[in-house]
Amino acid sequence: MPDNKISQLSRSIAGKVALVTGSASGMGRATAYLFADEGAKVAVVDRNAEGVEETVKTIQDAGKDARGWILDLTKASDIPRVIEEVVAEMGGLDILVNNAGIDASARIQSKRYEEVWERCFEINLNALHRTIRAALPHLQKSGEGRIVNIASTEGVGGSAFASPYTAAKHGVIGLTRALAVELGTQGVTVNCICPGAIRTGLTEVIPEEHKDKFARRRVPLKRYGLAEEIAHGVFTFVVPGASYINGATLMVDGGFSIQNNGSSVMPDQ
């Protein structure tokens, strides 16, 4: 075996401090659980107080380390305060996962379009740069700072009636790439996950028959993904052994984003 530093890079995040926004449910909660299982100290951050309490309790009951903070990301002045509290109580900050977001749709002609656009950008994009700016001094101090932004397959495509959401998610990918270049010189990596159709609270409202029909037609793996599968994608970016992955966009979508719409048509036998 090669005897060098690179070959010995670890896949352990034990002892690292990780802050995950939107971790009261869904993909954020799954990420918090996985990080805690891997030995990280997890800051569970969300506006849903009940969900935060439940996530923290589950982790602590398993003998792992987690603490919770209630944060509404639309209140910009609260973001630095929460970051500083996390650092003070947990002893630093090594990993930031910007997972919190909302889904939104509106026709371009809609009277409420401006409202939807502004709220979508406020939560899905503006909150990311504010959280990164507040966390950055601590991530730099870590020496192995990791930022993972959660975008969407909408960030590499587009759907009718979803232009506010689509534009914001394109912005997340752009922000990721620009900051990867800017912060890479400072020892902080910035990467992005693009989930496809995932079973979360947001998709619970979709009837199962509709989900099955969509998956059969549009996803090569013929199913919706699980929140835990997104969490493992995030984990890949934050381990010490991922130190040379920077500015990447990882599609976790079962092949949805690469399949041509007509590719499911079978040839004549």
pLDDT in tens, 173-221: 999 999 999 999 999 999 999 998 999 877 777 888 888 888 898 888 9
Please tell me the predicted confidence (pLDDT) of residue 262: 54
pLDDT at residue 225 in the model: 92
**Quick check: 264 pLDDT over 60?**
no
Amino acid 194: pLDDT: 96
Rg of the chain on CA atoms, in Å: 19
User: What residues form DSSP beta bridges with 249?
Assistant: 192
Q: Name, in order, each residue with C-beta under 8 angstroms of 248's C-beta and a sequence gap of 6 or more.
A: 191, 192, 237
Report how far apart, in Å, the C-alpha atoms of 163 and of each of 32, 41, 48, 103, 154 are: 30, 37, 27, 11, 9
What pLDDT score was predicted for residue 269?
A: 42
Tell me how far apart the alpha carbons of residues 120 and 116 are, in angstroms, rounded to a whole number: 6
Note the pLDDT of residue 8: 61
* Predicted confidence (pLDDT) per residue in 31-80, tens digit: 999 999 999 999 999 999 999 999 999 999 999 999 999 999 999 999 99
Fold type of domain 11-252: Rossmann fold (3.40.50)
Given a contact cutoff of 8 angstroms between Cβ atoms, the answer to whether 237 and 191 are in contact is: yes
Q: Which residue has the higher pLDDT, 133 or 1?
A: 133
Instruction: Give the mean pLDDT of 224-241.
Output: 97
Amino acid at 132: I
Among 13, 52, 53, 51, residue whose Cα is nearest residue 34: 13
- Given CA atoms 134, 22, 206, 260 in this order, what sign does their dihedral have? positive
**Is 30 exposed, middle or buried, given 0-12, 13-18 or 19+ CB atoms closer than 10 A?**
buried
**Using CA atoms in the order 179, 183, 189, 192, what is the torsion angle rounded to 10 degrees?**
-10
- pLDDT reading at 92 higher than 60: yes
Torsion of CA 168, 52, 190, 183, to 10 degrees: 100
Active site residues: 165
Tell which residue, 17, 13, 4, 7, has the closest CA to residue 240. 13
pLDDT at 112 over 70: yes
Q: What is the pTM of this model?
A: 0.92
Provide the percentage of residues in the chain whose pLDDT is more than 70: 93
% of residues, the chain, pLDDT over 90? 75
Task: Quote the pLDDT of residue 160.
Answer: 85
Domain residue limits, the chain: 11-252
What b/e readout covers 7-19, taking b as 16+ CB neighbours within 10 angstroms? eeeeeebeebbbb
Look at residue 115 and tell me whether its pLDDT is greater than 90: yes
- Write the Ramachandran bin of 187: left for phi over 0, alpha for psi from -120 to 50, otherwise beta: left
